[in-house]
Amino acid sequence: MTAPRLVSGPHTHSRFNVSRTMLAVMVCLTPATLFGLYQFGWPAVLLFGVTVAAAWAAEIACLALAGQPVARFATDGSALLTGWILALSLPPWAPWWVGVAGAGIAIVIGKHVFGGLGQNLFNPAMVARAMLLVALPVKMTAWVAPGPARAGALSFDQALGVTFGGGAPVDAVSGASVLSQIQSQLDAGLAMDQVLAGIGSFQDQFLGLVPGSLGETSALLLLLGGVALILMRVITVVIPLSVIGALYLAAAAAWALAPDRFPPPHYHLASGAVMFCAFFIATDYVTSPITGLGKMLYGVGIGLLIFVIRSWGAFPEGVAFAVLLMNACTPLIDDYVRPRIFGRTRAGKPLELGDRP
């Protein structure tokens, strides 16, 4: 008999590992992704493919440059997921180079500059999204109306023209996503009920039959995917609940005070971007706090920031910036909000006999 290995315990392990976790997230994203691809047709499929492939290529290149074991790390699924999330947040008919540039920014600047997996301070996909928004405000807000009637009618050849040619043809571009529409019409002096009448029904928004980013239109499917993630214990309920709760409460308060200036709170939640952020972006392990209380602070921060940016910011969609700002607070939160050690008070002193913690 050859000698068994001498390593200290535990000598068994849960079935969780990094790739499985990434895989679980991807599985939960699949319904919303398929829906987006169906809605926006071939150009969206092409853009999605290009972005994910570029993210993976960038990951391999960075690993090779950094001298890290490529075969081991490139197969963990983290780069694929980053590319995937980024693709879902792009306008569906954006030209290919937007996807490639975004993937490059996400993987190189967002991740490997910090030292690779687990080391980054900011959510890589959101770094890319924010940079693209700032650098290409027009390309990044060129939405198309969804549905087979408009977008889905494009043949594959035409789609090649859209993605690898000049981007979305002008006639396909439908001005704005719901929230930017509300905001611009309010700014133009229309009354709130007129504005609300002018945009699609709440149901349409919630189901996702509205213009928007590739995978962010259907709040419903994202919500379902998110709930599945929680049930699979990949994420906890804390961050999604506090993001959504804080946003809703802030919007409700504003609406109660000035119903003519602020849309009703549920319109905020009907946007897929919020669900996407709450369940899939803000919950990114690497860039969110560790403890429950920390997660709550972080989620509340994101929810409030989304509301503030949406209401008063220059960009119609505040998710990326809100997440990045709170990412920056994560180390601070983690330092101050620690779990209570068994048998000790929060301050770290041993409990007194008979104390209830």
Partner 1 sequence: MSPVPLFGRFDPARLFSFKGGVHPETRKHLSAERAIEDMPLPALLRVPLLQHVGAEAEPLVARGDTVLKGQLIGKASGPISANVHAPTSGQVIAVGPFPAPHPSGLPVTTVTIRPDGADRWGPRLAKPHVATAAPETLAAQVAEAGIVGLGGATFPASVKLNLRARYDLDTLIINAAECEPYLTCDDRLMRERADEVADGAGIMARALGVRRVIVAIESNKPLAIEAMTRHRHVLDHVLQIKTVPSQYPMGSEKHLVKTLTGKETPARALTAEMGVVVHNAATAHAVHLALRYGEPLISRVVTVSGRGVARPANLRVPIGTPVADVLAHCGGLVATPERLLLGGPMMGQPIQNPRVPVIKGTNGILALTAGEARDQRVMPCIRCGLCVQVCPMGLTPFELKARIDAGDLDGAARVGLLDCLQCGCCSFACPSNRPLVQTIQYAKGKLAERDSAQHQREEAKRLAAARTARLAAIAEAKRAAMAQRKAEMAAKKKRAGQATTETAAKAPIPPAPSAEAPKAPPAGAQPDVQPAAPTDAPTDVQPGAQPDAQLGAQLGALANAKAGAQVEARADAKADAREAVE
Span near partner 1 by CB under 8 A; candidates 31-39, 197-205, 310-318, 346-354: 346-354
Q: What is the DSSP string of 85-125?
A: HHHHTS-TT--HHHHHHHHHIIIIITTGGGTSTTT-SS-HH
CB of 336 to partner 1, least distance (A): 13
Span near partner 1 by CB under 8 A; candidates 30-38, 83-91, 226-234, 263-271: 226-234
Residue 198 lies near partner 1 (rule: CB under 8 A): no
Side-chain-side CA neighbours of 146 within 13 Å: the count stands at: 25
State both tokens at 105: 């920014």
Residue 314 lies near partner 1 (rule: CB under 8 A): no
> Which is nearer to partner 1, 2 or 187 (by Cβ)?
2
* Helices and strands, number each (H, E), in the chain: 15, 0
CB of 76 to partner 1, least distance (A): 6
Long-range contacts of 112-119 (CB under 8 A, 24+ apart): 112/59, 112/62, 112/63, 112/66, 116/62, 116/63, 116/66, 116/68, 116/73, 117/18, 117/73, 117/76, 117/78, 117/286, 118/286, 119/286
Span near partner 1 by CB under 8 A; candidates 10-18, 164-172, 196-204, 321-329: 10-18
CB of 239 to partner 1, least distance (A): 11
Query: Could you give the 3-state DSSP secondary structure of residue 316?
Result: coil
Residue 10 lies near partner 1 (rule: CB under 8 A): yes
> Which is nearer to partner 1, 155 or 236 (by Cβ)?
236
**DSSP summary character for residue 315:** S
Span near partner 1 by CB under 8 A; candidates 56-64, 254-262, 314-322, 337-345: 337-345
CB of 82 to partner 1, least distance (A): 12
Residue 353 lies near partner 1 (rule: CB under 8 A): yes
| Binding track, positions 74-93, relative to partner 1; x by CB under 8 A | --x-x---------------
CB of 148 to partner 1, least distance (A): 34
Those residues with Cβ within 8 angstroms of residue 311's Cβ, 6 or more apart along the chain or in another chain: 254, 262
Residue 67 lies near partner 1 (rule: CB under 8 A): no
CA distance linking residue 120 with residue 124, whole number of Å: 8
CB of 194 to partner 1, least distance (A): 47
Residue 264 lies near partner 1 (rule: CB under 8 A): no
CB of 131 to partner 1, least distance (A): 23
Burial group, residue 159, by CB count within 10 angstroms (0-12, 13-18, 19+): buried
Angle formed by the axes of helices 78-88 and 124-135, to 10°?
Answer: 40
Residue 31 lies near partner 1 (rule: CB under 8 A): no
**DSSP summary character for residue 74:** T
CA distances from 350 to 79, 293, 340 (A): 44, 21, 11
| Residue 10: how many other CB atoms lie within 10 Å | 7
Span near partner 1 by CB under 8 A; candidates 35-43, 149-157, 181-189, 279-287: 279-287
Is residue 291 within a helix (H) or strand (E), and if so which, with residue range? none
Residue 347 lies near partner 1 (rule: CB under 8 A): no
Residue 355 lies near partner 1 (rule: CB under 8 A): yes
CB of 71 to partner 1, least distance (A): 10
Residue 64 lies near partner 1 (rule: CB under 8 A): no
**Which residue do the tokens 């209830």 mark?**
356
Q: Which of 259, 285, 328, 336 binds partner 1 (CB under 8 A)?
A: 285
Contact residues: partner 1, CB under 8 A: 1-18, 20-21, 24, 72-73, 76, 78, 116-119, 231-233, 236, 285-288, 290-291, 338-344, 348, 350-357
